Amino acid sequence: MSHADYCRAGCPDPPRRPDLTKNHGNPEEFKRAVWLTYQEGLITQEEAIRSINRYTNDYESALP
């Protein structure tokens, strides 16, 4: 599954790091946002962990 399969922000496929950062933040910013969403009870812990891991992997493998 590619980033474009679940991205609602319109990142290109394949994504580039500047696009990911602009649309979702860097991995640390993304992680903070996801944990806030979890703490508000909007997603499960498993969903939070899966999202963080997937985004981190997408970011690390993205084109510069």
pLDDT digits (tens, 9 = 90+) for 37-61: 999 999 999 999 999 999 999 999 9
Number of structural domains found in the chain: 1
State the pLDDT at residue 29.
98
> What pLDDT is stored for residue 6 in this prediction?
86
Structural domain of residue 33, as residue ranges?
3-61
The predicted structure's pLDDT at residue 3: 87
Q: How far apart are CA 26 and CA 21, in angstroms?
A: 5
What single letter denotes the amino acid at residue 29? E
DSSP state letter for 16: B
pLDDT in tens, 2-40: 888 888 898 999 999 999 999 999 999 999 999 999 999
Say whether pLDDT at 1 is over 80: no
CB atoms under 10 Å from CB of 3, counted, come to: 23
